[in-house]
Amino acid sequence: MPTLSDLGQLPKRLVLGRPVRSDRAGESLLPKRLALPIFASDPLSSVAYATQEMLIVLTLAGSAFLFLSPWLAAAVVVLLVTVVLSYRQVVRAYPSGGGDYEVAMKNHGPGAGLVVASALLVDYVLTVAVSVSAGTDNIISAFPSLNDHRLLIAVSLVVVLAAANLRGLRESGRTFALPTYLFISGILVMLVTGFIRYFFSPEGLVAESSDYSITPESGYTDLAGLALVLLALRAFASGCTALTGVQAIANGVPAFRPPKSRNAATTLALMGGIAATMFAGVTALAVLADVKYTEFTCDLVGFEGNCETDPQRTVIAQLAAAAFGGDGSLGFYVIQTATALILILAANTAFNGFPLLGSVLAQDRYLPRQLHTRGDKLAYSNGILLLAGFAVLLIVAFDASVSQLIQLYIIGVFTSFTIGQWGMVRHWHREMGSTEDRSAHSRMRRSQAINFLGGSLTSVVLVIIVVTKFTHGAWLVLVSMPVLIVLMRAIDRHYSHVADQLVPDTDSRTLPSKVHAVVLVSKVHKPTLRALAFARATRPDELTALTVNVDDEETRALQADWERYDIPVPLTVLESPYREVTRPLLDYVKSIRRDSPRELVVVFVPQYVVGHWWENVLHNQSALRLRARLQFQPGVMITTVPWLLASTAGHEDGDGRRGGPAPGDLRRGFTDELDVTPYG
């Protein structure tokens, strides 16, 4: 028969499954075929919206500057390849999983490390919010009738993702492998089909929005000179969302199977090659199909439907329809399904990166220690739950709007890129100074050159992103990061202050001059007599049975019972003219400490252990209040003496009282008579 405790664990077991032993942690390590979908789903999925975000910025000035799309995409691809090559050096030099945070801490110091940590924590939260919101957009593109339920869908998906990750890495890896590989193969097939249709089909490749014209936004007409450059730079910054998630592999090296660094570097190269190919292909196909996509649907002249309520189809949806022959084709629905899944599951990159980084920060005492603790499935459960909570808040605050959330995006990730790459330049300089091996020197110099190029490019891009996105919402991230830094410094100071207080000194080893035990008495009953027996068993130097007189008649009855049971400890009665219980007891304990500062006072508090939640309302209130006050008194120990009431029967493991006395029977009073011989 399952106990009530087992039934209480049932919902947890349904979500998480059976707990995993700590010595099986190695079995959760990932082969490359599972590591790719887990850690690379974010940069791969950004193909679904990076081109779209670039087009949104360019169409602010109408359709006149869409010709810039291929050139901007080429710049993004060059940047992506450079960053991937740079991170291959990181995973080889720092395989412990700290990524940019560890690089910054060891090469720039704690200040830079906390900047990177705050940037990554913010970016991970935004990764979940943006990816899930974009996935919701693609679901709505296939089924427009769901538009009214956008927020509910997005929040529900975050909850499902959190539950999947709480089950552990291996389970979530299997869950996410199929959609990721389906998305990769689906996009590649769409690209090949689209190019074949464009070059060889009489109908050509025509997007549904190709016949639309665009009304330029106010202030974006007749752009030239610096204004045009700023528009192009802003579009480039939006296209750089294709690089989000690249750092996740560097943060997740410990999750790979040995050799960890080599497997992580190989996975990085695969991810970079696939992401660059798909992003370039989607952008080229969008240009050939003459796709139009604007921030506000009503700017599309010729849009069919109500521009106030009907959503535009995403760029991927338009390309799938154009390549496969319409929005009712099988290929269209396969692409939409795969795109929605990969976008939703791209958040898994953050669900792996955020808890790992949180664990490292907790170990370094910059975040609460609970984030370093693994859950039942060897996952960092507290980090997963914290990430899910913040992501849901963002989704609700911005109504699951990708266009609004994207403005907050990539500042954090490029901040960590930049600091991390310059940290690697310093790392290689230090390493070259510590070795005389010529071949090692050559390898290190090559790695340093790669990181120098990466640091230079990401620094320029970071400036572009801050300048072009600051007034469009990026300021919120730039405010959040310092707040996080201040919070982490405060947590570190607290832990350091506590550690200083707990260092043993000579006084800590000095025995107290004597021990004074105080047993609190309300009635002469089994809990009181058991507490008195325990106190006597400790053999204190002094023992006081203490009660407070709030009712003369009850106190006289208590004294009579005390004499009748012949209890060999004098009963001390404290007067309380204002009928208070806690204050007289507290004052009495303080007086003992005041008269003898080196004396240890041990207060024994009888307490009922109840079996039903509502019984807590009826019992133990005075004991709880007293303990809450006594715990702040120096030199005072509080010993709770539990007494199990009959309602707790069945809560302990075992078969109850069958076959003789069961554990807890004595404390519950399942004895034939009140035996007071131990007290006399």
Instruction: Identify the residue with better confidence: 12 or 504.
Output: 504
Instruction: Identify the residue with better confidence: 300 or 76.
Output: 76
Domains, the chain, in order of start with CATH, read 42-495 (1.20.1740.10), 512-679 (3.40.50.620)
Q: What is the mean pLDDT of residues 433-440?
A: 81
Confidence class for position 509, pLDDT limits 50, 70, 90: low
The confidence score (pLDDT) of residue 79 equals: 94
Q: Nearest Cα to 344, choosing from 564, 589, 175, 499?
A: 175
The answer to whether residue 29 scores a pLDDT higher than 80 is no
Q: What is the mean pLDDT of residues 185-202?
A: 92
In whole numbers, what is the pLDDT of the chain averaged over residues? 81
The answer to whether residue 244 scores a pLDDT higher than 90 is no
Q: Please state, in angstroms and rounded to a whole number, the distance separating the CA atoms of residues 263 and 87.
A: 13
Confidence class for position 53, pLDDT limits 50, 70, 90: confident
Q: Summarize pLDDT for 215-228 with one digit per residue, the tens.
A: 887 777 766 778 88
Contacts for 259 with CB less than 8 Å, ≥ 6 apart: none
Q: Summarize pLDDT for 254-288 with one digit per residue, the tens.
A: 778 888 888 989 999 999 999 999 999 999 999 99
The confidence score (pLDDT) of residue 258 equals: 87
Confidence class for position 188, pLDDT limits 50, 70, 90: very high
The confidence score (pLDDT) of residue 438 equals: 80
Best mean pLDDT range from 194-208, 239-253, 300-314, 398-412: 194-208
Confidence class for position 8, pLDDT limits 50, 70, 90: very low
The answer to whether residue 201 scores a pLDDT higher than 60 is yes
Which of the residue ranges 216-220, 236-240, 525-529, 653-657 would you say has the lowest mean pLDDT?
Answer: 653-657
The confidence score (pLDDT) of residue 393 equals: 94
The answer to whether residue 609 scores a pLDDT higher than 60 is yes
CA dihedral sign of residues 609, 611, 613, 616: negative
The answer to whether residue 623 scores a pLDDT higher than 80 is no
Q: What is the mean pLDDT of residues 475-487?
A: 91
Q: Nearest Cα to 285, choosing from 205, 217, 230?
A: 205
Q: Summarize pLDDT for 294-316 with one digit per residue, the tens.
A: 888 888 887 887 777 777 888 99
Instruction: Identify the residue with better confidence: 649 or 58.
Output: 58
Q: What is the mean pLDDT of residues 398-406?
A: 81
The confidence score (pLDDT) of residue 77 equals: 94
Residue 227, CA distances (Å) to 233, 296, 525 in order: 10, 21, 87
259: preceding bond cis by omega (within 30 degrees):
yes
Instruction: Identify the residue with better confidence: 269 or 680.
Output: 269
Q: Where do the H-state alpha helices sit in 434-567?
A: 438-469, 474-501, 506-509, 526-537, 552-564
| Amino acid identity at 16 | L
The answer to whether residue 361 scores a pLDDT higher than 80 is yes
Torsion-angle region of residue 520: left (phi > 0), alpha (psi -120 to 50) or beta?
Answer: beta
Q: Please state, in angstroms and rounded to a whole number, the distance separating the CA atoms of residues 113 and 488.
A: 11
Beta strands in 153-285 (DSSP E): 213-214
pLDDT > 70: what percent of the chain? Answer: 85
Q: What is the mean pLDDT of residues 512-541?
A: 88
The answer to whether residue 170 scores a pLDDT higher than 50 is no
The answer to whether residue 675 scores a pLDDT higher than 50 is no
Cα atoms found within 13 Å of the Cα of residue 430, Cβ hemisphere only: 11
Q: Helix, strand, coil % (nearest 5) of the chain?
A: 65, 5, 25
Q: Other C-beta atoms within 10 Å of 558: how many?
A: 19
Best mean pLDDT range from 39-48, 461-470, 667-676: 461-470
Q: Would you list the DSSP string of 330-371? A: HHHHHHHHHHHHHHHHHHHHHHHHHHHHHHHHHHTTSS-GGG
Q: What is the mean pLDDT of residues 575-591?
A: 85
Instruction: Identify the residue with better confidence: 557 or 627.
Output: 557
Q: What is the mean pLDDT of residues 104-129?
A: 90
Instruction: Identify the residue with better confidence: 255 or 535.
Output: 535
The answer to whether residue 26 scores a pLDDT higher than 50 is no
Q: Other C-beta atoms within 10 Å of 334: how many?
A: 18
The confidence score (pLDDT) of residue 612 equals: 75
The confidence score (pLDDT) of residue 165 equals: 80
The confidence score (pLDDT) of residue 651 equals: 59
The confidence score (pLDDT) of residue 678 equals: 35
The answer to whether residue 496 scores a pLDDT higher than 80 is yes
663: preceding bond cis by omega (within 30 degrees):
no
The confidence score (pLDDT) of residue 10 equals: 43
The confidence score (pLDDT) of residue 390 equals: 92
The confidence score (pLDDT) of residue 620 equals: 60
Confidence class for position 506, pLDDT limits 50, 70, 90: low
The confidence score (pLDDT) of residue 424 equals: 93
The confidence score (pLDDT) of residue 172 equals: 53
Q: What is the mean pLDDT of residues 306-335?
A: 86
End-to-end CA distance of the chain: 43
Best mean pLDDT range from 65-79, 175-189, 567-581: 65-79
The confidence score (pLDDT) of residue 413 equals: 82
Based on C-alpha coordinates, what's the Rg of the chain?
Answer: 34
Give the three-class secondary structure for 662: coil
